[in-house]
Amino acid sequence: MPMMTMLDRVIMRAADDETFRKALLADPDAALASTDYTLDEYEHAVLDEYRRVAARMSEQQLTDAIRDYSSAEEGHAAAGM
């Protein structure tokens, strides 16, 4: 099974935890500071892009996209076993 990156863990938590997702979209540095997630420079850039895209999406579109991402990741994990 491929190892999840820290960014994957952040996104998966955002998918499962609406409060964390809203905090992450509003102020990612504060949201991450309250956890033990440490993102490298590349992961921060990806998170910034995620925030830009999410800001342009409706809440329902975002929920659907996160659910689709979660399903795809679970499929990849199952295929890797």
Phi first, then psi: give them for residue 30, nearest 5 degrees: -70, -40
Q: What is the largest CA-CA distance in the chain?
A: 36
Assessment of whether the complete model's pTM goes beyond 0.75: no
Distance CA 20, CA 26 (A): 10
pLDDT in tens, 8-57: 888 888 888 889 888 888 888 888 888 888 888 888 888 888 888 877 77
